[in-house]
A and B are shown apart, each in its own frame.
Chain A
Amino acid sequence: DTAVSQTPKYLVTQMGNDKSIKCEQNLGHDTMYWYKQDSKKFLKIMFSYNNKELIINETVPNRFSPKSPDKAHLNLHINSLELGDSAVYFCASSQDKGSSYNSPLHFGNGTRLTVT
């Protein structure tokens, strides 16, 4: 039983295209995240949703738009893809959101996006 699953695992596309990455968690968690891991392996937060509400929106281009149809799903849509968008995108979930809570994150296995 995969706790946090994201699809597709690999995504190769051309510049200018629009693509989506889907994420689902079956842990019953309230909070979901999107992280980007670049070629230097830095994991950087992009977005966070708590019960379908956007709570963290980092400085990312507005070509990136997250959508949470329910608290078990958080999808990432990317418009007008650019070469610099090539990276591994990780979805994650946790029981609680920020503040004084310190629940660990559960990550999916990533989507490797290659823009040519």
Chain B
Amino acid sequence: SQKIEQNSEALNIQEGKTATLTCNYTNYSPAYLQWYRQDPGRGPVFLLLIRENEKEKRKERLKVTFDTTLKQSLFHITASQPADSATYLCAWMDSSYKLIFGSGTRLLVRP
């Protein structure tokens, strides 16, 4: 079955460092991946979309890569800040045109 997996363990880093979150997918080749941020008690908020023919996408301190050979997308936050602490979700559209979300990785940035 088509699967999308994120590291379920929380990522705990020091302010100013780069946070790197991983999204792996199996048994399917999505045309694009989306990344969302979710804060406690709130709905997910869209951050970035990357297409399969794009190696890298940037938006301010955020960078997303898409490696179709490794079947992996990496999400980077440079110069991380405590305000970046949240859960980050990757999502892809499966062969039935449903947007499927990973379980998310919780990021904690220590001051």
Residues of chain A touching chain B, judged by Cβ–Cβ distance below 8 Å, are: 4, 35, 40-45, 48, 56, 58, 90, 92, 97-100, 102, 104-110
Contact = CB atoms under 8 A, between A and B. Distances in A.
A97 B96 CA distance: 11
A98 B96 CA distance: 8
Chain B at the A interface: SS class: strand
A92 B51 CA distance: 22
A5 B51 CA distance: 29
Interface residues of B, number: 23
A64 B31 CA distance: 31
Chain A at the B interface: SS class: loop
Nearest to A45: B98
B103 A106 contact: no
A98 B91 CA distance: 13
Contacts of A109: 41-43
